[in-house]
Every structure is written in structure tokens, then in C-alpha cells.
Amino acid sequence: MSRYRTLRSIHLASTAWFILCVGYILVLALWQAAVRWWVIFSLSGYSILVILLLTSLYLFAIFRGISRTQAIESEHLLTSTNYYRIFYAAAPFLGGLAGCVGAIGADRVGQFLAVIAVGTFVTTFLVWVIIDPVTGLLEVLLLPPSRKHRSVRLAQAKVEREKKQKDRERLLAEVLAKEESDRHRWQQVLKPQAEKLASLLAASLTDFEKAEREAVDIGLNAWQMGGLSCMQQLRDMAVAISRERSRNKEIVDYIPFWWDGIGTWRVSSLDKTILAPR
């Protein structure tokens, strides 16, 4: 844990140093272009581009740091070592050090600082964006232990995916089989209630309120028996029986209107208007 904290501290400090150097390069470039100071420090124009650049690089560095902590050491024999991790985290500092060496003999302080900032930016970009991804790819592709471990891991992951897929298919098949069994069982149990509902659909308007009360009781029993699926099957059976009795003549299906509010059974406002008795 202490090693991880040390690497994190180095990484945060080096990132702050990198951002400081890029900000210095920006301010120096705008100052040399004779841009006024209030424009340099505004949140518009070039500043937005710089903020996006810094945010992107920082997020990339965080992403690489997270992926590195989750890396499998057997596949990353080089980039998982402490020496490489320290090199990666301290890349901005190493770039600044290289800039100090390259700036020896500079005439002005501003020129000396500019060389350090440019060295930091270039080194950080090369290490974080180019060298590190390429190194990680090469060690996986070229080192035999890495290739072997990666092949085994991918094969195990494939087996796990196939197992999960089979488990999902088995669970789905069990659910469908249970639903089919319930439908067959309900077909026998609900037949008398379906015939009763079909009779209620043919009731005259004078007995409509009584028919509605009886239909509500039937719907409530169906909800308690099997929920929404059971109610839907009962309705379909009742409508089929009603059409058979009326010799396929057009019938008015009041059942959705009668059952509105029972359990999760709902009917739209438009259907209420259409089905409501006049």
C-alpha cells in the first residue's frame, strides 16, 4: 500500500509540474506575440484549447495508471516492474531535468525556463502517449510467457462467457417452460370464469353496473392467481368465447375498462373514452 501511495504521489506531483510547464509555454508564446495580459488569462480563445489539451492528457495518464494497477504481471513483465512504473510516473520530472541539461549556457532566465518547459512537454508526450502504449503492446506480442499467459486468460474468459450464456439460456428456457405450464393450467381453471365473462359482455345496458361488479371480482381472482399474464389469458379466452357465441360478429370488449386499476392492469385514457358505456 505504501508503494502505491508513493507512486500516486509522484504521479500527481509530476502531472502538476507538467501542467505548470504547459501553462508557462502558453503564456510565453502569447506574450511574445504581443497579446495583452487580460487576453492571456481569459477563459476564451486559446485558453479553452489548452484546458482541453491538459484535461485530455491528464485523463489519459489517469487511465493508464488505473489500467496499470489492474495489469496482469505475467503478461506485462516489463511495464509492471517498479522501475518502469517510477519511470512512467516521473516522466515530466525527467523531461524537466533533460531541459535543464539542454538549457546550460542560456543567456536569459526566460530562455532557460522555456527550454525546461519544452523538455518537460516533449518527454511527457513521448512517454505517456507513444512509448508506453507501444512498449505494452510489444511485450505482450513478443515475449513468450506473456503470449502464453494471455492466450490462457483469453481462453478462460471465453469459457466463462459461454458458461454465462448457457446459464442465461437455461434460465430463460425454465421461465418459458413455467409460463407455458401456467398457461396450460390456467386454461382449465379459467374456463368457467371465461364463459362467465363472455356472458357479461353480452349483458344489456340496464344490467351493466352489475356486470361490471361481477367482472371486477373475476379479474381480481385472476390477478391473485397469476398476475397480469393470467388476466390477459382470461380476457383472450372470454373474447374468443364471446365471438364464437355471436358467430364472429363485432363485439364491444369492455373487459379492459372493467379491470382498470386491478393490480398492474391499466387502460389508456383513449381506450376509456372508446369503451365507456353511453
Whether residue 124 is contained in a domain is answered as yes
Question: For the whole prediction, is pTM greater than 0.85?
Answer: no
| 213 in the same domain as 130 | no
Q: How many domains does the chain have?
A: 2
Q: Which domain holds residue 105?
A: 2-142
**In this structure, is residue 202 part of a structural domain?**
yes
- Flag whether 199 is in a domain: yes
Q: Which tens digits make up the pLDDT trace of 39-48?
A: 545 544 555 5
Q: Residue 155: inside a domain, yes or no?
A: no
Per-residue pLDDT tens digits of the chain, which is 278 residues long? 577 788 788 878 888 898 888 878 877 776 666 555 545 455 445 555 555 666 665 555 555 554 554 446 667 777 778 888 888 889 999 999 988 888 887 777 878 888 888 889 889 888 888 888 888 888 878 877 777 777 777 788 888 999 999 999 999 888 888 878 878 888 888 888 888 888 888 776 667 788 888 888 888 988 888 888 888 888 888 888 888 887 766 777 888 888 888 888 887 655 555 455 44
User: Are 87 and 208 within one domain?
Assistant: no
Whole-Å CA distances, 159 to 63, 154, 156, 175: 28, 9, 5, 24
What's the pLDDT at 34? 59
Quick one: 231 and 125 in the same domain?
A: no
Q: Is 15 within a domain?
A: yes
Q: Does residue 89 sit in the same domain as residue 195? A: no
